[in-house]
Amino acid sequence: MSEYVLSQRGSRDVERARLRLLEEYHDPLTVSQLDAIGVGEGWRCLDVGAGGGSITRMLAERVGSAGSVLAVDLDTSLLDELASDRVQVRRLDLMSDQLPQAAFDLVHARLLLMFLSPRLGALDRLVSAARPGGWVASVAPDFTSVALSPTSVVWQRVWSQFLDAAMAGGWDPGYGARLCGDLHAAGLTDVHADYIKRRSAGG
């Protein structure tokens, strides 16, 4: 079984709060993706690394009663409450457990691939779950572009230690810059990618 390096398992409230912060930041990007793809009524969707379930909920609303969503994660404790006639929740390790093959109109994986190795192998598993003509949607950050202005020696030391710890934990903090190339390498066609850079106040 793989282990998610940032897991707060055993601290449910802390984990839910952490995931809500990520959802607040990333959900608008995913909405734009789903709009561009045209996810709608009757689609069969797979949400891999579904976390707190915000995208699972979003997909369930879009696919309607004629569609379905399979939400999978290493830890489903925050997802189990979403199970319904439209949403199936399953505990699954992408790197060792089998996904349904060629079964989904959309395969979604956000903030996931950077934590897995080999990453191209993980992406191949996602691609194989999409039906011919289906879609794979992903978001991955590039932490190596994060900067503080004005900068300070303290910030530089802390940030360098964070990146060292991330890589020692087996994940790639710069994976966002590689994702588009990996989508091509996985044999996908009609690949679209946006590299989004934001500037905001601290706190």
8-17, 39-48, 71-80, 144-153, range with the lowest pLDDT? 8-17
- 20: helix, coil or strand? helix
Looking at the chain, the whole-number percentage of residues with pLDDT higher than 90 is 74
Residues 120/159, Cβ–Cβ less than 8 Å? no
Give the phi and the psi of residue 196 in degrees, each rounded to 5: -105, 125
Reported as a single tens digit per residue, the pLDDT across 97-116 is 999 999 999 999 999 999 99
pLDDT at site 2: 56
- Could you tell me the two tokens for 5? 């390096």
Would the pLDDT of 3 be above 60? no
- Could you tell me the two tokens for 192? 């679209």
Kindly report the average pLDDT of the chain as a whole number: 92
- Average of pLDDT values for 68-82? 95
DSSP 32-49: HHHHHHT--TT-EEEEET
User: pLDDT grade, residue 202 (50/70/90)?
Assistant: confident
Q: Is the peptide bond before 28 cis (omega within 30 degrees of 0)?
A: no
Would the pLDDT of 124 be above 60? yes
Read off the amino acid at residue 70: L
Pairwise CA distance, residues 23 & 157, whole Å: 28
User: pLDDT grade, residue 1 (50/70/90)?
Assistant: very low
Would the pLDDT of 79 be above 90? yes
Q: Domain-by-domain residue ranges, the chain?
A: 12-141+174-185
Pairwise CA distance, residues 138 & 130, whole Å: 13
Reported as a single tens digit per residue, the pLDDT across 147-184 is 899 999 999 999 999 999 989 988 899 999 999 999 99
CATH architecture of 12-141+174-185: 3-Layer(aba) Sandwich (3.40)
- 24: helix, coil or strand? helix
Q: How far is CA 109 from CA 70, 104, 138, in A?
A: 12, 13, 5
Q: Is the peptide bond before 141 cis (omega within 30 degrees of 0)?
A: no
- Could you tell me the two tokens for 49? 């690394």
Predicted model pTM: 0.90
- 176: helix, coil or strand? helix
